[in-house]
Amino acid sequence: MRNSEFGITNEKFCISIIIEEQQMSNPVLEKSKAFALQTIKLYKYLAEEKHEYILSKQILRSGTSIGANIREATRGQTAPMFYSKMNISLGEAEETAYWLELIYESDYISKNQFESLYTDIDELIKLLVAITKNQKGGQNV
């Protein structure tokens, strides 16, 4: 157990600090959070400027869910839980790419806006595929 200046010697508390420190330097967590923030901006743009509410809500839900599931995966108590949450994140990322394609092909966003967002979601998908491909039910294949 670690001691602190506050007299805390709880092992669980120390472990949670270590996990939080690891999460701060986790590229997939960082990228998914940055993408979620981009998705929120896209939602605001679509709702306020284009008065589009259905597709914008769909992409907001799926685009922010990616990072939430990744974060939950990092807190998973077992390897199968981690694997399951990462697979859910991958599914949400694929869904987000679909909504993004529809929004672009419906002329709600420009080609430059689409390409910028699509590059980011494609990178997240590739990262998640790499993570889930090397796992099967939480065990290495």
Residues of the chain above pLDDT 70, percent: 78
pLDDT at 9: 45
Question: What are the two backbone dihedrals, phi and then psi, of residue 50, each rounded to the nearest 5 degrees?
Answer: -105, -10
Res. 134 pLDDT band, cuts 50 70 90: confident
Q: Which residues of 94-125 are buried (b: 16+ CB within 10 A; e: fewer)?
A: bbbbebbeebbeeebbeeeebeebbebbeebb
Higher pLDDT, 6 or 29: 29
pTM: predicted TM-score of the whole model, two decimal places: 0.79
SS3 52: coil
Question: How high does pLDDT run on average in the chain?
Answer: 85
- Distance CA(96)–CA(128), nearest Å, equals 14
pLDDT, tens digit, 9 for 90 and up, residues 43-84: 999 999 999 999 999 999 999 999 999 999 998 789 999 999
Higher pLDDT, 12 or 87: 87
SS3 31: helix
Residues of the chain above pLDDT 90, percent: 73
Q: Determine how many CB atoms are found less than 10 A away from the CB of residue 133.
A: 10
pLDDT at 88: 98
Which segment, 25-29, 58-62, 136-140, is predicted with the most confidence on average? Answer: 58-62
- Distance CA(97)–CA(104), nearest Å, equals 11
